[in-house]
Amino acid sequence: MARTVLITGGAGFIGAHLARQLLEEGHRVRALDALLPQVHGAGGRPGYLAPEVELVEGDVRAPDVVRKALVGIDAVVHLAARVGVGQSMYEIAEYTGVNGGGTAVLLEALLEHPVERLVVASSMSVYGEGLYLGPDGDPRPPLERSRAQLERGEWDPVGPAGEALVPVPTPEAKPASLSSVYALSKFDQERLCLLFGSAYHVPTVALRFFNVYGPYQALSNPYTGVLAIFAARLLNGRPPLIFEDGEQRRDFVSVHDVARACRLALASEGAAGLAVNVGSGQSISVNGISERLGTILGGGVQAEVTGKYRVGDIRHCFADITLAGDVLGYTPQVRLDEGMAELAGWLEGQVAVDRVDDATAELAARGLTA
């Protein structure tokens, strides 16, 4: 059955891909987006946004704007958020205001305009460190990495008795451990929506996205995904800057798979009330992903492993996607090599303003990196 779906943050790169998939299924799509300059540059309707999408420019924190955007809507995918661990540590009011406050405004508006289903974008950042096992094979909570430990270049967390730990895929059952303002704000979004859904009988699903990559990423935003940041450096003939030793492991998932997970969540009855990981189910080191990106862009510029650290960063976190398969029927379809090749094709002819040095200097001036 065709629906009219509102995507908040719908002019962003995930929202644009989701919109295309929904349109292909015969749905109608409206996007609400503030078109922030940090993400969209000069502003205006992005060229990559499908022409069939009705775009409403406005702030998710504005009640009148949100209420108007909800008129005639059957389902909502809530993607609108400020994104970036480092920036969140000093733009505290902005991140909590947009992510938590904007979600609250949306939910209050939904009291007046009920919908059939709500899907909210959460984040792997809510886990802090991923799941680790001790020498006996049992789960162990890692000790938080102290600044003294980081200054010594001792990057891997240890267990309560100082024992070595082994990182393994992180399931949804792992308790949240909020190591940045961004992580806290995403957890707020997740919990607000799930609480609302339970109280008002709105089937609601929170999707914990891991490291999303693909075409339409904001290359000039120095606080966006690591692959986009690395690409911006390489396109300007400059080396990507890698923190710590580069052996921290992440789960990189194609935006096509993430958009498909959102579509599945709009239809799945079994996922209602749950937080569900959306990743590739595979892990790779930051060094490894940098090498692959450099190769597909022609090589020539090697990444610089800085040995520095950032407050709020975690060491290892990659997804256990068993639950997504069980309740959504989700299986990743884009292998990393295929997704990277697609990204390389899109990057040809793209112009990126490299603002990484400015962002790094901002963090350093505030004592958030060393």
- In whole angstroms, give the CA distance from residue 206 to residue 172: 11
Among candidate residues 92, 5, 21, 44, the one with its CA nearest the CA of residue 255: 21
Report yes or no: 83 and 56 within 8 Å, Cβ to Cβ: no
Catalytic residue among 95, 132, 182, 223: 182
Compute the Cα dihedral for 141, 147, 149, 150 and give only its sign.
Answer: positive
- In whole angstroms, give the CA distance from residue 47 to residue 49: 6
For this structure, is 223 an active site residue?
no
How many other CB atoms are found less than 10 A from the CB of residue 152?
9
Kindly state the tokens that stand for 351: 């112009």
Residue type, 67: R
Eight-state DSSP code of residue 362? H
The full DSSP string for 63-110 is HHHHHHHTTT-SEEEE------HHHHTT-HHHHIIIIIIHHHHHHHHH
Beta bridge partners of 206: 120, 275
3-state secondary structure 299-342: CCCCCEECCCCECCCCCCCCECCHHHHHHHCCCCCCCHHHHHHH
- In whole angstroms, give the CA distance from residue 84 to residue 98: 13
Q: Would you please indicate which residues are annotated as catalytic (active-site) residues? A: 182
